[in-house]
Chains A and B, each alone.
Chain A
Amino acid sequence: MTDLAPESTAEPGVPTPPPAAPSGPPALHIEGLRKSFGAKRAVDGLGLTVPTGSFYGLVGPNGAGKTTTLSMATGLLRPDAGTITVLGTDVWREPVKVKSLVGVLSDGVELFDRLTGEQLVTYHGLLHGMDRATVVQRTADLLELLDLQGTGGTLVVDYSAGMTKKIALACALVHAPRLLVLDEPFESVDPVSAANIRDILEQFVRGGGTVIVSSHSMDLVQRMCDHVAVIGAGRVLAAGTTEEVRAGSSLEDRFVELVGGRRHSEGPAWLHTS
């Protein structure tokens, strides 16, 4: 993990993403981001530019620093060093302005799960300072969109894992953000719901929004995202349009090639029953 060159932001061979449509600043721009937990360097000089209007996939092995990076980009975790701007606004200088532009689905945080699904989405909307009539209307729309309208009265603590993900997505969408940052949004979501969520996200991008998703599913990212960044050991190993990054092969093969660590073995003989 540590045999990479110390200079990380300007590695040769890393395709730089084409400049976004010159309509404005990129949706997310990260430079020289660092974060350590004790002796462990979780994010080590990471740089990333997410063009406005892109559907951006973030892939990387476990412990690569995806969640840490996304937490810092959304104002949930203070970086040790580096700058992060969302649509031209510095996340850590003007956090409130940025947070009104960004919708967040965090992986590994609890929800206020003693609320019903309907109450939870309403709560998020009201915390954003929206008026109640709008919040109520949007909550109803989102519950319907995510197939949760039948369970709006159930406490979130009694939801299944997939339903919990969907309600968290509704919470991220309720204030109509311009940038959606979704950490593992498809984990334990059933295929039908996943397809529905994809439709919603694609529609969101067509409407001018920007989506960043982190995922372990290479197939999904390859099909869904127009841009992708491969993260390993706290830095960007490759970034650009999906076509550029996968360079002719499949994203999965390219990922394994970049990250390394694949072993070729057939397992012990007793596992082969025939």
Chain B
Amino acid sequence: MVAHLLRLRFRLLANGLMRNPWTLVSVVLGAGFGFMALVGVVAGMAALSFAEPRVAWTVAVLAGAVTVLGWVVLPIVLRGMDQSLSVSKLRGFPIPPQRLLVALLVVGMLGIPGIVTLVGALSTTLSWFGSPIALLAAPIAAVLGVVTCVAASRAFESVGAALAAGRRYREVMGVIVFIPVILAGPIIIFAGSSLAALAEELPTIARVISWTPLGAVWSIPGDLALGRPLEALAKFAIALATIGVLALLWWRSLARLLVSPPTASASHARSKGLGMFAIFPGTPTGAVAARAAVYWLRDPRYGGSLVVLPLIAVIAVFLAVTESTWMLAVLGPFVAATLAITLCAEVSYDGTAFAAHLATGVSGAADRAGRVITLAIISVPAVALATILPLLYLDSADAIPATLGIGFGLLFTGFGVSSIASARFLMPVPAAGESPFKTPAGSTVGAQLRMLATWAIVFALALPEVVLGVVAITTGNTLLGVITLVLGILLGCALMVVGIRLGGALLERRGPELLAALHRARGA
């Protein structure tokens, strides 16, 4: 049975690779990089055998704990990463849960991430050439460590699935879990300044972590080498208990999943009224705007595209604290430029549901305008806040009109340009219901280039107000700043209207081709 599932696993992997030669090429390239990284890890571990055991122990505990954490968090973030052997697919076969548990454990360990982790973990053995007992204990601890990783990953996954099969839960989790990941970069940079001080503290941190389920197993060889056999024994007990608890958790949720498939909570909700459709005007344009508003609230892919905004803000604040305030001063235009082209992906987000627009024969201009209206409701206040607040904080309120002019100019011009762009080409996006951060099938350099080209056009068209605004800010001329604001709004709106008209006409002409492309994108 175990061998069966393992063979199935590799067959699925091979078939997936063979579907498309380019996938194979990219996987081979990725495997090459991964292999080199692994060689680096192994070499580093071997090098640690020349360092003092305390350092090797610290590295092993901290790296090991991060690895376990990664095994737990990554599957939640990259939901749907590898569902080829999910419980729901195996439910139909007569397999007792215990056997399935063992089989999935082995399959998990012998998948690509499992093998990489296993090799990395086993390489810690190389650090202990100085201590024979540790050298003996290290491989055992390594295997136990990898078992902990896989068991923890699977246990949390299936407990999560059993507890909250709700779509809403998954969607919210998908976004929330990603926020610390995105902020991790700036946080590390922030911490970087005090990293020297932190390095002193690392052994202490490792000491604490080594007593937790995350680090206990990785600590055993080091404790032996450092002459703490009793601690090693205690941590061995913690490690075994961890695996035991995880296995029990996993087994129980597995047994439950096997007999009762997680069903979407079939809430027979009474009508809650029309919601957004009652607020927006009852015209085709209003309907598209209302629908977009509902999607901004309910579809995590829309909100997920805005996660970069806090990131930009954090980087700006960070730069302001450490080096210079220039980015904080132009935060508004930055946010505007980012928001302006989010519209490019809208038709791609629709997927083949776009057929509704085509079948009803709604005018292209109404389609374009509706999407613009909703984005404007979100982004105009965002740009205004991102402009006014930092400038007030920086005590340069006289730059507000000019900066606002640049920001609104870029934003409105961007609405117009991306209204045409999204009728012209599709962006590869994750399908509805997939993780908003999943790399979609068919992400190509071409799509990135088209996005950049769209951006370049936006900046070129908004050049008048940008130049005028820069002049106004550098000379400190407030009147010029006010003129920039007026010019930015007027010119931007004019270009927006032109973009909506042209984009609408293009959409009407190319609608069927666009739908065919959407079908292909989903079929891929």
Contact = CB atoms under 8 A, between A and B. Distances in A.
Contacts of A95: 361, 508
Nearest to A101: B361
A211 interface: no
A126 B107 CA distance: 52
Nearest to A100: B361
Interface stretch (B14-22, B274-282, B410-418): B274-282
A112 B433 CA distance: 12
B117 to A, nearest CB: 36
B180 to A, nearest CB: 26
Contacts of B450: none
Interface stretch (B37-45, B265-273, B471-479): B265-273
Contact of B353 (A100, A112, A129, A150): A112
Contacts of B295: 112, 114
A98 B360 CA distance: 10
User: Which of B299, B362, B522: most chain A CB closer than 10 A?
Assistant: B362
Interface stretch (A41-49, A117-125, A213-221): A117-125
Contacts, number: 130
A106 interface: yes
A76 interface: yes
Contacts of A113: 353, 432
Contacts of B283: 126, 129
Interface residues of A, number: 47
B268 A114 contact: no
B356 A118 contact: no
A51 interface: no
Contacts of B360: 99, 124, 127-128, 175
A171 B359 CA distance: 11
Interface in B272-320: 272-277, 282-284, 286-288, 290-291, 294-295, 298-299
Nearest to B433: A157
Given A126-B287, A153-B272, A99 B361 contact: yes
Among B274, B351, B361, B433, the most chain A Cβ lie within 10 Å of the Cβ of B361
Contacts of A129: 283-284, 362
A205 interface: no
A150 B352 CA distance: 27
Contacts of B185: none
B167 interface: yes
A127 B515 contact: no
A93 interface: no
Nearest to A103: B359
B227 interface: no
Interface string A87-118: 00000000110111010101011111111101
Given A124-B356, A129-B283, A115 B294 contact: yes
A131 interface: yes
B357 interface: yes
Q: Which 5 pairs from chain A and chain B are nearest by CB?
A: A132-B282, A99-B361, A126-B287, A153-B269, A127-B360
28 contacts: A74-B359, A75-B358, A75-B361, A77-B515, A78-B516, A95-B361, A95-B508, A99-B359, A99-B360, A99-B361, A102-B359, A106-B355, A109-B352, A112-B353, A115-B291, A116-B269, A116-B271, A118-B271, A118-B274, A119-B276, A119-B294, A122-B277, A123-B291, A126-B277, A127-B284, A129-B283, A132-B282, A153-B270
Interface of A: 74-78, 95-96, 98-100, 102, 104, 106, 108-116, 118-119, 122-124, 126-129, 131-132, 135-136, 149-155, 157-158, 160, 171, 175
